[in-house]
With several copies, the nearest count.
Chain A
């Protein structure tokens, strides 16, 4: 079994109201030095019986097709083998 961790974030250049709000909250709580916060999604997808090579294609496919909106989002992922 594979565990795929997919990190989705807003593309550079797309304003991120959630990130801005979190940054402001951190500032007002007195955490110094916070320059910027970006808010995104974290998906963990567990997949069975795939060989790792095909897996990459499959994940890219899923991401492009449905998990990610390419107009505003970009993604990265990591694959881990798990039991």
Chain B
């Protein structure tokens, strides 16, 4: 199986994702230049964090028009797994692969720190190694992670179990004080209806090694690997 990490101009967690997939998880992985238009042979596409195009117009707004994004949309329509982390999540929103939009954090400051998130849906290909309600210790680092969605669409998200992660306390309690950025419904990550596209603000690649203080992110990568291997075995 093979991962592809997309590199947009201004991506800056591309190398981190690459490193974790290759050295920690031990799977094969390529960088994919944003001008490329071929995703043949890949099983999972990672849209990494960073500041694509400096986030100068809106986060993810310009990257969404990179040639590769046409392919990513195609790829996801065919059931390929796509995970967008932080800026990658923002790109997915702008591209319409996920619903909603990002606003500036409630406190109007960039925040980089460890938070806790609760797994709301452990049936996705990205979270199957967790159990529902499991609490992860995982870092966030963003200025625009204040997720917005209108009330009707939110009910739809909930109904379809598309809310994958919510900010919470160490013990899994969801409350305003544990929501770092003001996100609607304390949302930290969502997937599409089909479940093969995940967007999340926290950074699993930053907590996949014990030397970095937490390995909770590792299970996300391992879930992906397991899902793909199962599918490949079937084919």
Assess whether A45 is interfacial by the CB under 8 Å rule.
Answer: no
- Interface size of A by CB at 8 A reads 18
The answer to whether B56 touches A39, judged by C-beta atoms less than 8 angstroms apart, is: yes
**Of A13, A16, A66, which is within 8 A of B57 by CB?**
A66
Q: Which residues of B contact A72 (CB under 8 A)?
A: 101, 103, 148
Which residues of A are found within 8 Å of B31, using beta-carbon distances?
Answer: none
Of the candidates A10, A66, A67, A69, the one having the most CB atoms from chain B within 10 angstroms of its own CB is A69
Instruction: Kindly provide the distance from the CB of A8 to the nearest chain B CB, expressed in whole angstroms.
Output: 10
Chain B residues lying within 8 Å of A10, measured Cβ to Cβ, are 103
Q: Which chain A positions have C-beta within 8 A of B148?
A: 14-15, 71-72
Cα–Cα distance between A16 and B108 once the two chains are bound (Å):
11
Docked-complex contact B100 and A18, CB < 8 angstroms? no
Q: Which residues of B contact A25 (CB under 8 A)?
A: 53, 57, 62, 65
Number of A-B contacts (CB under 8 A): 56
**In the assembled complex, B157 has its CB within 8 A of some CB on chain A:** no
Main secondary structure on A side of the interface with B: mixed
A-B interface, 9 closest residue pairs, ranked by CB to CB distance from nearest: A71-B101, A18-B56, A21-B56, A72-B101, A25-B62, A22-B57, A17-B106, A69-B101, A17-B104
12 pairs from A and B in contact (CB 8 Å cutoff): A17-B107, A17-B146, A18-B54, A18-B56, A18-B104, A18-B108, A21-B108, A66-B57, A66-B65, A67-B57, A71-B101, A72-B101
8 other A-B residue contacts (CB within 8 Å) besides A17-B106, A18-B56, A67-B57: A15-B148, A17-B146, A18-B57, A21-B56, A22-B57, A29-B65, A69-B61, A72-B148
